Structure 1
């Protein structure tokens, strides 16, 4: 019987259509649905659609939905679920063109996050089983490149769309999402791996995997401030204006494009664990410098480095799961649990940072210093004695 990997070796182009579909899914559900909101924050406030406090909390609604969407993914079949979730995100874009109320907006941002959470669980489990082992890091980087493209696209598309008005901006994002959903519709592979309770019964989780869960959680807490507040920090905090804020966000997007494939390449050549250590050290330094940098050149350079992290860490963490857990069924189970820890801390961090931001009277630098501390905690966890590469409990 021909395995998916063997089939790919004999027909190397066969995997690129599913990878493209995965890229479209991550672009729509995370790259645009989450990150296009960030450059819109100053305009939403200035246009008086919502108050400054409400706008920031509406951004956190997407993070909460992301957490809810993770467990929901296991109740759906992969291919149809991915199609449905992309349609939900598209509908949310169109709905946000009409600021009927805070509740209306919160509900649609929440639904958008739920769809994004489900997609992030399902997309890797749907595509990667069809990829040869030696190419998994690069393939996962290509899939999650969609996040980076969405970030970069939000920085380049949102400013010209805003010249047409906020409503036109949301409608334009919805139209782009609809096109990408259509392009990916027939790209999903027919055979998918889906974890069920019978295929993957609960077993004790070994220390090395628990260590990864904890690291991934603190990574999530560390990436939120720049992800949510960077444009507002430059535009209003430093008084540089929306145009300079958008330029810095474009540089963040450039880093986000570079991150997934380069981090996946690192995982394939250095190993996931060594790559994670290197990336965390660089990120902690960059976030610390962000809190004290004020020139455009410094901010642009730091934005590239920091922007590589949110989409780049996904293929790295996934590669670490594959190092620790050889069994494919248990890989999906471990990956799902890792992303639940990520989503939980991301949602908690979103509301915590928002509350701290409002309580401090809009003081951005404190948030960046706290995020640097969270990244350092993730790095230190890798040197704990319970972090040995022993995952017997998930390999059987």
Structure 2
């Protein structure tokens, strides 16, 4: 009974932390982006820059996390990041604030989200048995999808009142979630007595080094693969295809539904069929989802694109985190997962800046879909060279 309670308590807290820092924080802005432009809060260029600022903040999060751990406990850093994420959304409700104010807050949202992404999953996974680690990771990372679903569902309703109401509503949801899990982070993570010896820290085998390098490259390409959907999907639907904002919100909610169930589905697949096979399937399905708008823009194609990219955006994160654990072991998981997050952050940050710069100059977003689908094909190639052989 105590193990079940621990599972429910920690899994829920991990889900909430990822939801606040990454789900709501990053995806609510995507849902808001077209209406911010239409209501003249920002120009198209400035709105793109703010979207990229969040991703640049994400680059700063992993090294900030490593540095701050020498001075503060993991629990303190998680709580601080949850609060900063919540208040960064509330602060964006100040319409009269200068552009630099929004730039700072979106960067803070990115930093705090990355800190949560680096610290929370290894902490939660470490508390559960080996045979359910992928499923537990799936529950935690489903917070990304729930955030997308919440933003797609509630943002259009809140915007019907005002843009300020949307920011305040999102911030209130994040703050409430923070309060609900505040006490959970007082738990202590006991050392794993089955962990590897200190000598394990100094060297990995040849197969492990090759595999972890390939996984890192695949994860970096994956960051480019989801950028058009994560930055411009709603804007593409509303302004390029001429849909209503409500329709754009619907497809974003579909993305969110897929993202909510995707990590759980991929976690189960990883535990049952193996992480490498599950990753190859996940990257392949995601590449198809990104490429679908190039082939057709009817309702079925757009629905499938939203669902597939939604499912396998956090779904691949679940599998990569657990595959990293399988390759390097428990003792090195946090270190290498931090490196994975950093590689992902740099790739998506650079990609986001480039896309944000050129997107307003393009006649269509189709060029971005081509680039991203190609990047995901490279992810598939990288995973084929991995192995857990010692």
The normalised TM-score by structure 1 is: 0.91
What is the aligned partner in structure 1 of residue 265 from structure 2?
A: 262
In structure 1, what is the Cα distance between the partners aligned to 2:336 and 2:304? 35
CA contact (8 A) 2:292 2:302 kept: no
Partner of 2:92: 96
Partners of 2:266 and 2:316 within 8 A in 1: yes
CA contact (8 A) 1:223 1:309 kept: no
Provide the C-alpha distance between the structure 2 equivalents of 1:202 and 1:111, rounded to a whole number of angstroms: 34
Structure 1 residue 332: Cα displacement = 1.5
Offset, 1:291: 2.2
Kept after mapping to 2: 8 A contact 1:17/1:188 = no
| Displacement of 1:261 | 0.4
Alignment of 1:9-24 (within 5 A): 11-24=3-16
Q: Does structure 2 retain, via aligned residues, the 8 Å contact 1:280–1:376?
A: yes
Distance 1:311 1:299 in 2: 19
Q: Distance in 1 between matches of 2:258 and 2:367?
A: 23
The residue number in structure 1 matching 2:367 is: 366
Q: How does 1:182-261 map to 2 (within 5 A)?
A: 182-188=179-185, 190-192=187-189, 203=203, 206-261=209-264
Provide the TM-score with structure 2 as the length reference: 0.92
Deviation at 1:144, TM superposition (A): 1.0
The C-alpha deviation readout for 1:161-192, integer Å capped at 9, x for no partner, is: 00110011101111111100000101226223
Please name the residue that 2:281 is paired with.
Answer: 278
Q: Do residues 150 (structure 1) and 151 (structure 2) align?
A: no
Structure 1 residue corresponding to 2:76, chosen from 75, 80, 84: 80
1:88-110, Cα deviation, whole Å (9 max, x unpaired) = 01110111001312211010000
Preserved CA contact (<8 Å) 1:20 1:187: no
Is 1:121 matched up with 2:123? no
Secondary structure at the counterpart of residue 120 of structure 1? helix
SS in 1 for 2:183: coil
> What residue number does 1:389 align with?
388
Superposition deviation, residue 203 in structure 1 = 4.5
Contact 2:283 2:316 in 1 (8 A): no
CA distance in structure 1 between the partners assigned to 2:382 and 2:177 by the alignment = 39
Q: What number of residue pairs does the alignment pair up?
A: 377
Map of 1:39 onto structure 2: 31
Unaligned runs of 5+ in 1: 1-8
1:25-70 residue CA offsets vs partner (Å, 9 max, x unmatched)? 1111111000001110111001111101100110111111111011
Cα deviations by residue, 1:113-143 (Å, 9 ceiling, x for unpaired): 0000000000012211111111111111111
Quote the residue 2:133 is aligned against.
136
Q: Which runs of 5+ in 2 are unaligned?
A: 192-196
C-alpha contact 1:216 1:378 (8 A) present in aligned 2:
yes
